[in-house]
Structure 1
């Protein structure tokens, strides 16, 4: 059986007179981890925001299971995907157990330790960890993880990698970008390089 895909097709985007994306094509398959690599300022976060409906494209389409979404449609996209932005986004006044059902992560010692804490009282690493697990808990077909390892200790990164691999086994599709290349290489199945506004597939071997 053919697996479902999220496809970004012919995506163009300009910031004023600066061409950022020039006809990008990228596929994310369910049950697979796709890694997007590129230098700072190459447009990786812009592409994530477009896929999540946070930015309007100058041109291009997004497809989920062959359904075409031409414009930024946050509601429709949210039915298919969950998006982790680079910046913190959780309401700081809420407690962890108000955002995450601890039963879903009852074997996770970090969640069990901070479940009664307010988001504002967490360390930077703990907050990022909770944000990632919150996104995973939304149970969408596709996850967009923009710089998920930023601010995390090596121990927390290894824990997050375990969660990402578990999501893959559940048949979810994951698009991930991060500067920690050794972790990206370890976790990824398919790799794309974003350079000069265009994306090309690269050999993972």
Structure 2
């Protein structure tokens, strides 16, 4: 579904992604792992063309996305959930969801507000609350739900477990598993190895903007030197 090849991305003169490449198959949940500053967020932004790679390709279903404006990337079927959430704080939960509504997309799950309330019961209970009155975890859920209203084929999640209460982290894991069961493909960036192992099919580890590991969690567990070198604090 997605092929990232030879990507070099920069912030001004700072070289962040260095010849990065990997593939995502349809229906997979893949965890992009690494320490703070490893390049995980830049990878997601480079896929969405919020950061335009200077070299390399990002091919989604046969279409090279490099250089397209982000709204056209979204129209190809990609949905992006940033770490900083960016909900509309003065709109209600339901109004935030309606802002994200897009037409049905052939081959992608189609989401309604009622379906999302079934997956996110916390949001259903607060459907008339304004965004600014939600907890951090509820705001994270709302951002994911709003993105799903665009009916993406591939969902990019930036640090979905970061800064939320442990009970909400478990709900988030259940949500990602539910999305996978609906046929959605997910690429999520994470520092929490336990969370990633609970939801993802395989792991990609990056450090210094380069891929250091790509494989199953079973394979990762058999290479503790990789885990210790690139994931330990």
TM-score calculated relative to the size of structure 1:
0.90
- For 1:201, the equivalent position in structure 2 comes to 214
Structure 1 residue 83: Cα displacement: 0.2
Structure 1 residue 144 and structure 2 residue 190: aligned?
no
CA distance in 1, matches of 2:199, 2:37: 23
CA distance in 2, matches of 1:69, 1:78: 10
Shift in Å, 1:141: 0.5
Structure 2 residue aligned with 1:190? 202
2:116 to 89, 105, 120: 105
Distance 2:160 2:203 in 1: 17
Whole-Å separation in 1 of the counterparts to 2:123 and 2:163: 17
- 2:100 corresponds to: none
Secondary structure of the structure 1 residue equivalent to 2:80: strand
From 90, 93, 102, the equivalent of 1:93 is 90
Any conservation in 2 of the 1:37–1:192 contact (CA below 8 Å)?
yes
Structure-1 residue corresponding to 2:81: 84
Structure 2: gaps of 5 or more residues: 98-111, 219-233
- Identify the residue that residue 164 of structure 1 maps to in structure 2: 176
Determine which of 144, 150, 165 is the counterpart of 1:132.
Answer: 144
Q: Which has a greater percent of strand?
A: 1
Q: Which runs of 5+ in 1 are unaligned?
A: none
Equivalent residue of 1:71, what SS? coil
Query: Residue by residue, what CA displacement relative to the aligned partner does 1:163-187 show, whole Å, maximum 9, x if unpaired?
Result: 2112212222100112221010111
The within-5 A match list for 1:63-78 is 63-78=59-74
- C-alpha root-mean-square deviation of aligned residues, in Å? 1.7
Q: Secondary structure at the match of 1:91?
A: coil
Aligned residue in 1 for 2:107: none
Q: How far apart are the structure 2 equivalents of 1:63 and 1:178?
A: 23
The size of the alignment, in residue pairs, is: 201
Q: Which runs of 4+ in 1 moved over 6 A?
A: none
1:30-69 aligned within 5 A: 30-69=26-65
